């Protein structure tokens, strides 16, 4: 069965000689305008795969880029309809050392100080251990890169919101327990060309394991109509600091960014009403519309969900 994109080749003839050990044959008379012909079977397959990748990447990029302007227009209409505004930067804080956040979230002064101390340690471990390892993995393959690197640490207020949620009764967690349970205090995203996405993700997961990190959870959501990508959660055993690595194509990452405000709004609805049910339905419909336009990379279905078994003791 033919692999990749068909490519016409001129028949080999006796008036051609090997061009060194490159696996190519050049015209004996030095006619540089005549095409070079691959004679090594392995190189021929490699060339076919390379051309297939070029075609896959081009087609995926074209399909997504064609869809983006209309999707952006739909989101602007939804924003106007419901009067969405940008998220406030921060909430005025009490003078007693406690913390207050959106949605009436709160930490007392002792919890707040505990989180501040823990956050500094997490950032230190991130800068010293986790981020250099992620950078080293990135350097091994020039076809993909770390995206959104400026957001590698979750903002402190957003982190405290998650901690406050985890401390809601009947939770028995301490503030430190809750902080270390947050999976994305440190987070990064690898972005791949569509054609090499599947094999790139599998390779990079093994690369991270080889650097001593433990894979805690993998979720493949390429079949979801609300979000497409692969999210993984990791643990640095020496420090017990958790971090998140997402794996995206350019289209899936841009789709995530385009629909993120809709996702946040859906999550913020804590007391549903008939009106908010209609709004949430429209937002979910928007997310479905966006993700339906994201091209599915080849072979992504072979990447299975994973959850590390918890050990007793």
Per the listing, tokens 């950032």 go with: 123
Name which of 281, 216, 201 is nearest 249 in CA terms: 201
Return d(Cα 146, Cα 247) in angstroms, integer: 9
The pLDDT assigned to 313 comes to: 42
What are the extents of the domains in the chain?
Answer: 74-307
Note whether 234 and 213 are within 8 A (CB). yes
What pLDDT, on a 0 to 100 scale, did the predictor assign at position 229? 98
Give alpha helix (H) positions in 99-237.
Answer: 109-125, 131-139, 156-166, 175-181, 197-210
Which one is the CATH code of 74-307: 3.40.50.2300, 3.30.460.10, 3.60.150.10, 3.40.190.10?
A: 3.30.460.10
pLDDT the model gives residue 35: 54
Q: Which residues lie below 8 Å from residue 106, measured CB to CB, with a gap of 6+?
A: 98, 99, 100, 164
- Write out the H or E segment, with its range, that includes residue 186: strand 186-192
pLDDT of residue 56: 66
Q: Is 104 exposed, middle or buried (0-12, 13-18, 19+ CB in 10 A)?
A: exposed
Is 214 in a helix, a strand, or coil?
strand
Distance CA(117)–CA(175), nearest Å, equals 11
Name the stretches of the chain with pLDDT < 50: 1-31, 312-313
Candidates 254, 236, 252, 256; CA nearest to 244 is: 236
pLDDT of residue 7: 31
What's the pLDDT score for residue 44? 66
Q: Which pLDDT does position 19 carry in this prediction?
A: 38
Can you give the pTM of this predicted structure? 0.80
Phi-psi region of 65 (alpha: psi -120 to 50; beta: other; left: phi over 0): alpha
CA distance 100 to 160: 9
């Amino acid at each position: 069965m033919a692999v990749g994109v068909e490519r016409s080749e001129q028949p080999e003839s006796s008036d051609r000689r090997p061009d060194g050990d490159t696996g190519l044959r050049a015209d004996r008379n030095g006619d540089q305008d005549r095409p070079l012909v691959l004679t090594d079977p392995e190189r021929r397959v490699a060339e076919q795969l390379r051309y297939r990748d070029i075609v896959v990447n081009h087609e995926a990029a074209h399909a997504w880029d064609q869809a983006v302007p209309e999707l952006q227009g739909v989101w602007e209409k939804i924003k106007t309809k419901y009067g969405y505004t940008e998220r406030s930067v921060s909430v005025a804080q009490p003078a007693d050392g406690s913390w207050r956040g959106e949605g009436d979230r709160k930490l007392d002064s002792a919890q707040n100080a505990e989180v501040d101390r823990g956050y500094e340690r997490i950032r230190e471990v991130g800068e010293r251990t986790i981020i250099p390892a992620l950078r080293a993995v990135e350097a091994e393959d020039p076809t993909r890169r770390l995206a959104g690197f400026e957001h590698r640490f979750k903002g402190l207020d957003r982190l405290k919101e998650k901690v406050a949620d985890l401390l809601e009764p009947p939770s028995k967690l301490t503030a430190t327990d809750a902080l270390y349970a947050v999976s994305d205090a440190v987070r990064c995203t690898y972005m791949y060309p569509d054609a090499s996405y599947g094999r790139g993700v599998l390779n990079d997961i093994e690369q991270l394991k080889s650097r001593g990190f433990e894979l805690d959870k993998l979720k493949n959501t390429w079949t979801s109509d609300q979000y497409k990508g692969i999210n993984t959660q990791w643990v640095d055993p020496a420090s017990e600091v958790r971090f998140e690595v997402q794996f995206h194509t350019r289209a899936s990452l841009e789709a995530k960014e385009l629909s993120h405000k809709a996702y946040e709004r859906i999550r913020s609805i804590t007391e549903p009403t008939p009106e908010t049910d209609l709004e949430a339905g429209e937002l979910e419909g928007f997310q479905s519309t966006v993700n339906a336009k994201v091209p599915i990379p080849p072979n992504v279905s072979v990447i299975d969900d994973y959850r590390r078994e918890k050990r007793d003791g």
